[in-house]
Chain A
Amino acid sequence: MTYDGGANGSGSFQTKITADDQAGSGWPDVVWSTQNNDASWASQGKTPFAAPLNKGYFEQSFLDGFTPGALAPVTINGTVYGLRNDLAATVTWYDTSLMTKFGYTPPKKWEDYLALGQKVAKEHPGYIVGDVGDPWAPEVYFWGAKAPMNTVTGTTGFSANAADPKSVQMATLLDTLIKAGSISQDSVFGADFIKKYTGKVLMLPGPVWYSGALFQNNKSLNSKAGTIDPGLPLSWSGDTPAAGNVGGGTWFVSQHSKNLAAAKTFMEFVTSADDYQVDLAPGLPAYKSAGDKWLAKQATSNFFTPDFASNISTAAGQVWTGWGYPNFSQEAVWAKAVTPGLAAGKSLVSLLPSWQKALDNQATVNGYTVN
């Protein structure tokens, strides 16, 4: 079975399973999803699609081998419904060679990040410190800023608070830097981004998988070896740092499968075996032992700076838990409610109320009670 992995990827996965439910047959044995909010619907209904995995299917010792917190998105009320393939915490990517060249110090706080963005816009126009052109922008900036825009309580409670000081503060920060020109609105996967910003990305907050997708990729930014550093997640002044999270694949086993034993062997292999997760996987494995080896291997390739392994592990443990995993796509709502307005030159602060309204509406039609 295939489905698209874009902003509405999770919706597409669900629509196909629903069609199988209607037909009463055709379910895939095992599903890979690029989203991490699928457990919210796959665990519900009369005959949930996802098989529970910690009720005698996998040994607890195997499940305990995952990085702490890695299974949180696929755990509903204590039952694990899926396995995490890779971790996708956000870090603060920066180019050490540009930092040295311009005489800047990498920021540790959002306030310093704002100041640096304004400074580079003035002193070196054309260079950027961030990008909001993709639908996961809220997961990088608002999740990472601890803005309560995606709070899920229990299985049916949802709230988004655009008036929260942290939401407003982050929106103001982004507005300032978009206006200054040091935050781009191009999609990082678009031709324009590569054309305009190759060699000009001073900083780029984003998920761990930007490593292979953008920096160490000769079809994208194609950065020089030894220049790119995954800086630790930023914090607000006087607060603890927090990471956001953008995706990170998940695996599900179908409750309807007739090949449960084979599915179990496959799932164990694909999430934890060194042959795959260490040797071939492009992103940080969620299985702890494979993850550690993967990081060690990345370090020996010397493409990224020496603190790559330790910073990425730290970020993986700092993902803010106040951001939930509802059964609708947060990214799709952002793309619909915010992106066109931003492109038309409206300020993010002015779009905050309509973003919240769109989230509330989407939550309501998907069965949540909005507080």
Chain B
Amino acid sequence: MSRKEPLAAKQMRMSYLFVFGYVLFLAAFGVAPTVYALYLSVMSGSGKFVWFRNFNRVRHDFRFMPDVIHVGTFVLIWLVALLVLVTVLAIIVHSLGQRWLSPSVRFIYYIPGAVAGASSVVLWLFVLNPTVSPVSGVLHAFGLKTFVQTISPAHLPVIFAIIAFWSGAGGWIVVMYGALNSIPSEIMEAARVDGAGAVRTALHIQLPMMRKWISYMAVISLAAGTQLFVEPTVLSQASQGVVPIDYSLNQLAYQYAFKQTDNNGAAAIAVMLLVVCVVLSAFFVIKGGLFERD
């Protein structure tokens, strides 16, 4: 008589199988390049160990600090907008009483997310050009008469934040909606019985219970935001260089690697981005209790 395997062990084996594919790709396209970048960042072009010389060189590049400010401003505007607006919108959508309304609104929110990456930026080129824009009235109201005026350096962080919000927020609203659904109905019921209105329920029940999801959104968006690349690159081509090809840190790393043929400098920028991202992510993970078990 063959002995039956305990259920737990069987589940264990299955779970290894499930994560196997992910671990493989993580190692090949995540961990290995990171280790290689760490290695390159402390070596010279001729393969000598040079401590932090690459970091110092890159830090003193005239484009570095402006790019830090560009990316920092963009991420700040975008992250705040994302965290606040997505949460508020998700709660509002969740509270919609009409049966058909809530799914339709969620669907509409989600549509822009289906227009991927560079193609969504191309769409925005038309929106931002006062000559052909469907919202030229809005642009004129801000005193913007030409494309070059619209994409002037001071406007760019806001423009990139709007583009990113437009294409990314819908997906997050759907995720947050799911998070709101996972709040047990007894708790919501109890709140209602105790006389809590929509606002008090949101502040004292829904928000605290969505904490993990919100910090998850922050971590993922932070990683995406600091890697700003496609949007300025497409805008740069469309504007004949008025939006520079070295607007963001990722673009600067690209310039280092492929224009100045300096892979070590590029690696140094990548490592700096990684460190900043890890530190900020750790903040959100700890604050949001992302790794706590329920």
A residues within 8 Å of B by Cβ? 4, 6-8, 11, 14-16, 18-19, 21-22, 45, 133-135, 185-187, 190-192, 329, 331-332, 334-336, 339-340, 343-344, 361, 364-367
Are A134 and B131 in contact (CB-based, < 8 A)?
no
| Given known A-B contacts A134-B240, A331-B241, A15 and B259 have beta carbons under 8 A apart | yes
Nearest CB in chain A to that of B256: its residue: A365
Using an 8 Å CB-CB cutoff, how does the interface string of B238-282 with A read, 1 for contact, 0 for none?
011110110000000011011111010000000000000000000
Specify the main secondary structure of chain A where it touches its partner.
helix
Q: Tell me the smallest distance from the CB of A22 to a CB of chain B, in Å.
A: 8
| Given known A-B contacts A6-B241, A45-B261, A336-B244, A192 and B152 have beta carbons under 8 A apart | no
Are B63 and A187 in contact (CB-based, < 8 A)?
no
Asked if B95 CB lies within 8 Å of chain A CBs, one says no
Are A11 and B62 in contact (CB-based, < 8 A)?
no
Q: How far is the CA of A11 from the CA of B251 in the complex (A)?
A: 13
Are B63 and A335 in contact (CB-based, < 8 A)?
no
Are B146 and A192 in contact (CB-based, < 8 A)?
yes
Q: How far is the CA of A329 from the CA of B236 in the complex (A)?
A: 14
Residues of chain A contacted by B237 (CB below 8 angstroms) = 4, 6, 8
Are A336 and B259 in contact (CB-based, < 8 A)?
no
Kindly count the residue-residue contacts between A and B in the assembled complex, taking CB atoms under 8 Å apart: 80
Are B149 and A343 in contact (CB-based, < 8 A)?
yes
| Given known A-B contacts A4-B237, A134-B240, A340 and B153 have beta carbons under 8 A apart | yes
Are B240 and A7 in contact (CB-based, < 8 A)?
yes
| Given known A-B contacts A343-B152, A344-B149, A18 and B240 have beta carbons under 8 A apart | no
Q: Tell me the smallest distance from the CB of B262 to a CB of chain A, in Å.
A: 9
Q: How far is the CA of A134 from the CA of B146 in the complex (A)?
A: 13
Are B261 and A18 in contact (CB-based, < 8 A)?
yes
Q: Tell me the smallest distance from the CB of B193 to a CB of chain A, in Å.
A: 59
Identify B241's interface contact among A8, A18, A22, A343, CB under 8 A: A8
Residues of chain B contacted by A8 (CB below 8 angstroms) = 236-237, 241, 245
Q: Tell me the smallest distance from the CB of A337 to a CB of chain B, in Å.
A: 9
Q: Tell me the smallest distance from the CB of B101 to a CB of chain A, in Å.
A: 40
B60-100, CB < 8 A from A: 61-63
B209-240, CB < 8 A from A: 236-237, 239-240
Using an 8 Å CB-CB cutoff, how does the interface string of B128-161 with A read, 1 for contact, 0 for none?
0001100000000000001111011100000000
Q: How far is the CA of A192 from the CA of B130 in the complex (A)?
A: 10
Identify A15's interface contact among B132, B147, B149, B254, CB under 8 A: B254
Using an 8 Å CB-CB cutoff, how does the interface string of B161-174 with A read, 1 for contact, 0 for none?
00000000000000
Residues of chain A contacted by B263 (CB below 8 angstroms) = 22
Residues of chain A contacted by B239 (CB below 8 angstroms) = 335
Identify B131's interface contact among A18, A190, A329, CB under 8 A: A190
Identify B257's interface contact among A6, A7, A18, A367, CB under 8 A: A18
Are B258 and A191 in contact (CB-based, < 8 A)?
no
Identify B259's interface contact among A11, A187, A344, A364, CB under 8 A: A11
Residues of chain A contacted by B245 (CB below 8 angstroms) = 8, 11, 332
Nearest CB in chain B to that of A345: its residue: B149
Nearest CB in chain A to that of B244: its residue: A336
Q: Tell me the smallest distance from the CB of B241 to a CB of chain A, in Å.
A: 3
Residues of chain B contacted by A365 (CB below 8 angstroms) = 61-63, 260
4 more A-B contacts (CB under 8 A) besides A15-B259, A19-B258? A21-B261, A332-B244, A335-B239, A366-B260
